[in-house]
């Protein structure tokens, strides 16, 4: 499950809350991708077919300083995967580079499909897109002065449409979330925190029937779980979807780059031990009706709880 922390992320009773945790200095915030990785294949498909729903910017917003900070972070953490040489950004694991004017060049024959994908988009977006293909994370830029998200490079959204979120405030972003009082009431304070010098991370999780990382609502079925699904089949089509979110601050600009690392694993394979199953069981059991409805878990909560209870006892149902 990568960086996902079950003990920090799963609370009982379940609450929609910020859940921020301080990051120790030097803790990696980015995850480099290799040719053939699932994240790379899905991101490339989105950028090739729906780039205007993944790459978005508020009119007049200058994303340059934040993107430069993100590129510096990438090189500092993973110099073998990403490097800046002058104004040119090199994704070494993919074998492609993009210069400051958007010119694309192949450096090694590692992942040939990335080049046509980059060439097909507007030159101003090509360096950002290269970063998006080189790392598993999606990215957003949060501005403290306006408390708004003015830039998005999100290929793998979790059941939300990036094109409907660009330019919204932190509070507006979370307005549709069930039981959102803790999130929205603390929004101004949270924005100040994540754009300060201290770095933070948080975790999000759910159980879903959707198997792909890319979960844009326009490309999903109208119902999350089939209406005629039998109780015994729920777990067989259940997926454990998590996000690790971190913040890279630009204190001098009053901004932060928000990183989102999404992972999807079959639920049967996602829980390392009976203790982990018990944590998920207790948190799921304590969800309010509003949260269950928001996450479309109302009708599958009971069979999921029954399976989790058995796993928590060390059984393998």
In a domain, 119, yes or no: yes
Cβ(304)–Cβ(230) below 8 Å: no
Both tokens of residue 164?
């409907």
Q: Which of 246, 275, 274, 248 lies closest to 261 in space, CA to CA? A: 246
Tell me how far apart the alpha carbons of residues 211 and 175 are, in angstroms, rounded to a whole number: 26
pLDDT at 222: 77
pLDDT at 69: 97
Long-range pairs, 281-287, Cβ under 8 A, ≥24: 281/305, 281/308, 281/309, 281/311, 281/312, 282/10, 282/12, 283/10, 283/11, 283/12, 283/13, 283/14, 284/14, 284/207, 284/308, 285/12, 286/12, 286/13, 286/14, 287/14
In a domain, 72, yes or no: yes
Terminal Cα distance for the chain, rounded: 21
The structural domain count of the chain equals 1
In a domain, 317, yes or no: no
Q: Which of 197, 162, 243, 245 lies closest to 69 in space, CA to CA? A: 197
In a domain, 1, yes or no: no
Compute φ and ψ for 58, nearest 5 degrees. Answer: -70, 145
In a domain, 175, yes or no: yes
* Segment holding 247, helix H or strand E: strand 239-250
Model pLDDT for residues 161-212, shown as the tens digit of each residue: 999 999 998 888 877 776 667 777 778 888 999 999 999 999 999 999 999 9
Tell me how far apart the alpha carbons of residues 204 and 168 are, in angstroms, rounded to a whole number: 20
Compute φ and ψ for 75, nearest 5 degrees. Answer: -70, -40
Tell me how far apart the alpha carbons of residues 132 and 152 are, in angstroms, rounded to a whole number: 11
pLDDT at 98: 98
Both tokens of residue 128?
């950002």
| Biggest CA pair distance of the chain | 59
In a domain, 215, yes or no: yes
Q: Which of 242, 237, 222, 215 lies closest to 300 in space, CA to CA? A: 237
Single pTM value for the model:
0.95
Burial pattern 185-198, b for ≥16 Cβ within 10 A else e, equals ebbeebbebbbeee
In a domain, 164, yes or no: yes
Tell me how far apart the alpha carbons of residues 38 and 213 are, in angstroms, rounded to a whole number: 8
Question: Quick one: how far is CA 119 from the chain centroid?
Answer: 25
- What is residue 105's three-state secondary structure? strand
Q: What is the dihedral of CA 174, 175, 177, 178, to 10 degrees?
A: 140
Pairing of strands 200-208, 239-250: antiparallel
pLDDT at 1: 44
In a domain, 45, yes or no: yes
Model pLDDT for residues 109-135, shown as the tens digit of each residue: 999 999 999 999 999 999 999 999 999
Provide the phi-psi class of 304: left if phi over 0, else alpha when psi is between -120 and 50, else beta: alpha
Q: Which residues of the chain have pLDDT under 50?
A: 1
What residues make up the domain containing 99? 6-312
């Amino acid at each position: 499950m990568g960086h996902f922390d079950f003990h920090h992320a799963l609370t009982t009773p379940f609450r929609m809350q910020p859940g921020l945790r301080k990051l120790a200095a030097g803790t990696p915030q980015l995850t480099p991708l290799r040719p053939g990785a699932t994240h790379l294949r899905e991101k490339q498909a989105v950028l090739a077919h729906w780039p205007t729903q993944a790459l978005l910017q508020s009119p007049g917003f200058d994303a340059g300083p934040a993107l430069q900070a993100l590129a510096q972070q990438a090189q500092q953490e993973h110099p073998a995967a990403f490097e800046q040489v002058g104004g040119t950004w090199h994704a070494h694991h993919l074998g492609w580079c993009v210069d400051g004017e958007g010119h694309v060049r192949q450096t090694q024959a590692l992942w040939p499909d990335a080049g046509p994908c980059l060439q097909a988009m507007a030159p101003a977006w090509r360096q950002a897109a290269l970063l998006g293909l080189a790392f598993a994370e999606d990215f957003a830029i949060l501005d403290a002065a306006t408390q708004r998200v003015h830039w998005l490079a999100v290929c793998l959204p979790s059941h939300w449409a990036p094109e409907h979120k660009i330019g919204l405030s932190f509070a507006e972003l979370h307005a549709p979330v069930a039981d959102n009082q803790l999130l929205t009431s603390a929004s101004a304070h949270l924005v100040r925190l994540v754009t300060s010098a201290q770095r933070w991370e948080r975790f999000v999780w759910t159980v879903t029937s959707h198997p792909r990382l890319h979960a844009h609502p326009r490309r999903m079925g109208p119902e999350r779980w089939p209406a005629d699904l039998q109780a015994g089949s729920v777990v067989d089509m259940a997926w454990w979807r998590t996000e690790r979110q971190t913040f890279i601050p630009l204190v001098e600009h009053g901004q932060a780059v928000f990183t989102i690392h999404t992972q999807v694993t079959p639920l049967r394979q996602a829980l390392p031990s009976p203790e982990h199953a018990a944590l998920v069981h207790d948190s799921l059991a304590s969800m309010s009706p509003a949260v269950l409805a928001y996450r479309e878990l109302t009708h599958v909560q009971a069979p999921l709880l029954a399976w989790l209870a058995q796993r928590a006892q060390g059984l393998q149902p």
